[in-house]
Structure 1
Amino acid sequence: MKLIVVSNRLPITVKRNDQGFEYFHSSGGLVTGLESIKNKIKFLWFGNISSQGLSDSDKTKIRSDCKSKFNSCPVFIDPKLNHDSYNGFCNAVLWPMLHHFIDDVNQTNYNYEAYMKYNEIFCEKISEIAKEGDIIWVHDYHLMALPKMLRERWGDKVKIMFFLHTPFPTEVALNTLKCRKEILASLNSSDLVSFHSYEYVLNYIQCCHDNKLAEPKNIDAVPIGIDPTLFTECLKKPETQDRIRYFLNKFDGKHVVLGVDRTDYIKGIPQRMIAFKNFLNKYEKYRDNTVMLQIAVPSRMDVKEYQSYVGYTNELVADVNSTIGNVDDNYIYLLNNSVDFPTLCALYYISDVLLITSLRDGMNLVAMEYIACQEENQGIIVLSELTGVATTLPGSITMNAWTVDEITESLHRALELSPKERKTRFKINSDNVYKFTSYEWAENNLDKLCDDWREILTTDE
């Protein structure tokens, strides 16, 4: 008997080389959440890998490599079907609806059919490997139709868990979705449905009532965490120490405000830039000794709306630097790219404030990663109250990210804190980061499912 983890994509990037294929680990919230449990809980991971340009023999080779190297099973999806499901339904319909951006929802029956077909392929591939007694843990909005398909295929012979990594919306937002009853009925087919916060649980239950559906038999809030030791150990490495020295020298005498986000409209990056400009104009004593570092990791750049979002962000940064800055210094340093792990940890370490202005966010693990790297400096988080992590890290200074003035004043408050209050707030956050780890998250989900999962998952097949 085994644990089968199912997500939209495998945490693996495959590249062709002269010898065949090489494999790289991808990043992301789910990857971070499961990284630390792989040596404690053995699991088989199913997920999509692009089949673009792959022959049947290529797929056979990749399947073999993924199984032997990563204990993973790639699901190859036709590129057009993948586009219609992922871009046409997941990102054009489900993503904005789940985050309450209902004006951005764009529904077509065709893309919904692609979504259902996508989920059916996953069901088929999982069923080729699954056995009676297995636990199947399905993740996120890309696979909301999968629990019911698995239940119809397997009945009660397997246990099914579903975890949603985004917010779950109110009935006002969900009611914009034509297939809402089908989605709710599918999730209710699970033995456990879990979310990051009780707000999402209550929203889900209310939506079931409004659509005249029974509540799921087992539902709970189990917020995801990180493995903080991955970050504390990275800080000790020579390459990380080199980067720390470089950044400390470059920003000597400066207050450093850090932002780390994907370039997604839910992250509120434009609001952050406007608030920072207002902060510099209003509090002149900080004008010459405060900078913002913004890591903006490109996301969904094949979508026109996301390209426009990045362009607008770049314009706002240029406006701040050109109207307030000078030829020698910038006030905002913007990197439209990802950074390697040692650089990320170094940036976390040297920053005085982490600024998170999400307009809606399921969790946001960046906040927890920052705390893990701040043991010496005891940095402060200015955090949108519309994130799941706001309940996990109550030592943060919270604000409404839709209100630019609140961001401005919260940033000022963070920089004005006494050392004693910084220490108190940091300890509250740090204690929770070490208490609610990714391993605890996985264990707690399994505990909610059944009492005997340890015996089930340690039994030889």
Structure 2
Amino acid sequence: MSRLIVISNRVSAPKAQSAAGAQGGLSVALSAALKEYRGIWFGWSGEKTEEFTGHMDLHREGGVTTATIDLEEQDIDEYYNGYANRTLWPLFHYRIDLAEYDRSFGSGYERVNERFAETVAPLIEPDDLVWVHDYHLIPLGQQLRDRGLKNRIGFFLHIPWPPSRLLVSLPYHERLVRTLLAYDVIGFQTEEWLESFCHYVERELGGRVDKDGMIHVGDRSVYAAAYPIGVDYKEFGEAVESATAREAFERLRKSAAGRRTIIGVDRLDYSKGLEERFLGYRRFLEKHGESRDHLFLLQIAPPSRGEVATYEVIREHLDELSGRINGEFASVDWVPIRYVNQSYGRAELAGFYRAAEIALITPLRDGMNLVAKEYVAAQDPDDPGVLILSRFAGAALQLKDALLVNPYSKDEISDAIMKAIRMPKAERIRRWTSMIESVRTEDVVAWRHAFVSALENARPPVRSEPEHA
């Protein structure tokens, strides 16, 4: 079996995962992959250095070998805080109004991708499979090809791919997208994002998309498909049964004092629809005064990307909104929102999920959203809770028996909360049974096998000189 070389912006060592809080899908999924495949996980350490030297810190734990590099402060500002998170992230989440276009951001993005390529290329052996992840590293495949690598190289995008009419607002968009043609396999979370990519290729690059998923632009060919990511079902099931989860369950149930718990767990980000969620919940409190004292919303929202000004604005706005709602509706022995800006370990979260009768997950746009799947996986089969899920989350395509809502509609959110409260146990069990089957069968193992199998079966195309737009 070929080695698997995984390359991502950040590397999360296995030992850190039990304490890292509400982690995104990337770190959880890749650790699961590398426990089975031998190989290396390469990326940025998250640390700064005065001068980039290409020095790598190699570490092996839990069957996973990691290789990390430090970046200069300018690299972090331009590549990570700049182009990745102030340009691509908002644009790919349909927030063109928040996207910032600064030439220095683009230069830093290209420079760091070159540094990744220069450093990791000597580690890659001829038969290795190379799997590059996410929007931070779109040009990396082309950078590796420019250094002579002929390996099978795949790319997986964990966030949405925007419609062509939005993507063309990005300066040098064609140049960026053409670098994706250096890969052998490109994976997206859903068919919607895949269709958006194919539309761009046909409209802007004059390419051809075959029914079998092959995309042809000039003399380049690449296979593209949707590979919905899942949770590590076995590992999460063990976390649900752990003593830590049981303690968290009891703690939340005791503090609820007989009231229903609505839970939301999200990284503090404008794509997660937290303001819309609070406003929808407020509408419920307005319309159903008789229910106010019988439930509360527990919103866990660990801060992220504090260096980006937009995120500080989000935090201040949500602090103000939650305070205003609590001030308007609270009584001496009840507050409607428990708003928590800290992270919890996976086992604790599993206990909280199981203790909550309702999950309220309302992203405005999400590549997948694994919290929705974790909530389903954490439920008691004999008395499961109800999942309320934004129809704009990638997970909505698989979890069709959730209560799907338009997160922009306060009334839909309010109505869904009331429907969840009134839902008979038989219907809750029926809906959960359908969703847990999807969560169990379409888990992270199935995702990994599907993508790696496609990469193993990819035909290395005849390479020509790199094209530049």
The alignment's TM-score, normalised by the length of structure 1, stands at: 0.91
**Partners in 1 of 2:293 and 2:409 — Cα distance?**
25
Shift of residue 409, structure 1, vs aligned partner:
1.4
CA contact (8 A) 2:6 2:131 kept: yes
Shift of residue 329, structure 1, vs aligned partner:
1.4
Q: Give the aligned partner of residue 239 of structure 2.
A: 234
Q: Give the aligned partner of residue 438 of structure 1.
A: 444
For the pair 1:225 / 2:240, whether they are aligned, the reply is no
Of residues 162, 166, 174, the one that matches 1:169 is: 162
Structure-2 change in CA distance of 1:67 and 1:433 (3 Å)? closer
For 1:256-304, what per-residue CA distance to the aligned partner results, in whole angstroms no more than 9, with x for missing partners?
A: 1000001100011011111111101101231110110000110111222
**Partners in 2 of 1:179 and 1:49 — Cα distance?**
29
For the pair 1:73 / 2:78, whether they are aligned, the reply is no
Q: Give the aligned partner of residue 131 of structure 1.
A: 125
For the pair 1:356 / 2:361, whether they are aligned, the reply is yes
Q: Give the aligned partner of residue 194 of structure 1.
A: 187
CA contact (8 A) 1:67 1:73 kept: no
Higher mean C-alpha deviation, range 208-217 or range 370-379: 208-217
CA contact (8 A) 1:34 1:439 kept: no
For 1:127-160, what per-residue CA distance to the aligned partner results, in whole angstroms no more than 9, with x for missing partners?
A: 11112121110000000111111222235x2001
CA contact (8 A) 2:14 2:62 kept: no
1:151-300 aligned within 5 A: 151-154=145-148, 157-214=150-207, 215=209, 216=215, 217-300=222-305
Shift of residue 104, structure 1, vs aligned partner:
1.0
Amino acid at match of 1:115: Y
For 1:54-92, what per-residue CA distance to the aligned partner results, in whole angstroms no more than 9, with x for missing partners?
A: 7999x96x7143589840111222121121111111111
For 1:360-416, what per-residue CA distance to the aligned partner results, in whole angstroms no more than 9, with x for missing partners?
A: 111100011111110333111111111111112111111111222211112222222
Structure-2 change in CA distance of 1:54 and 1:13 (3 Å)? farther
Of residues 403, 423, 434, the one that matches 1:428 is: 434
Q: CA RMSD in A?
A: 2.4
Q: Percent identity?
A: 29
Shift of residue 25, structure 1, vs aligned partner:
6.4
CA contact (8 A) 2:261 2:297 kept: yes
For 1:410-440, what per-residue CA distance to the aligned partner results, in whole angstroms no more than 9, with x for missing partners?
A: 2222222121111111011100000011111
Shift of residue 52, structure 1, vs aligned partner:
2.4
4+ residue runs over 6 A deviation: 23-26, 54-57
Helix, strand or coil: the match of 1:200? Answer: helix
Helix, strand or coil: the match of 2:178? Answer: helix
Shift of residue 238, structure 1, vs aligned partner:
2.3
For 1:134-189, what per-residue CA distance to the aligned partner results, in whole angstroms no more than 9, with x for missing partners?
A: 1110000000111111222235x200100000000101110111121112111121
For the pair 1:319 / 2:324, whether they are aligned, the reply is yes
**Partners in 1 of 2:83 and 2:33 — Cα distance?**
31
For the pair 1:117 / 2:108, whether they are aligned, the reply is no
Helix, strand or coil: the match of 1:102? Answer: coil
Amino acid at match of 1:409: D
Q: Give the aligned partner of residue 28 of structure 2.
A: 32
CA contact (8 A) 1:12 1:25 kept: no
Gaps of 5+ in 2: 210-214, 216-221, 460-469
**Partners in 2 of 1:207 and 1:278 — Cα distance?**
39
Amino acid at match of 1:391: L
Shift of residue 34, structure 1, vs aligned partner:
2.2
**Partners in 1 of 2:114 and 2:168 — Cα distance?**
25
**Partners in 2 of 1:36 and 1:335 — Cα distance?**
29
1:283-432 aligned within 5 A: 283-376=288-381, 377-432=383-438
Helix, strand or coil: the match of 1:415? Answer: helix
The alignment's TM-score, normalised by the length of structure 2, stands at: 0.89
For 1:227-255, what per-residue CA distance to the aligned partner results, in whole angstroms no more than 9, with x for missing partners?
A: 12222212322232222222212113211
**Partners in 1 of 2:442 and 2:200 — Cα distance?**
28
Helix, strand or coil: the match of 1:154? Answer: coil
Question: How many residues get paired?
Answer: 443
CA contact (8 A) 1:13 1:25 kept: no
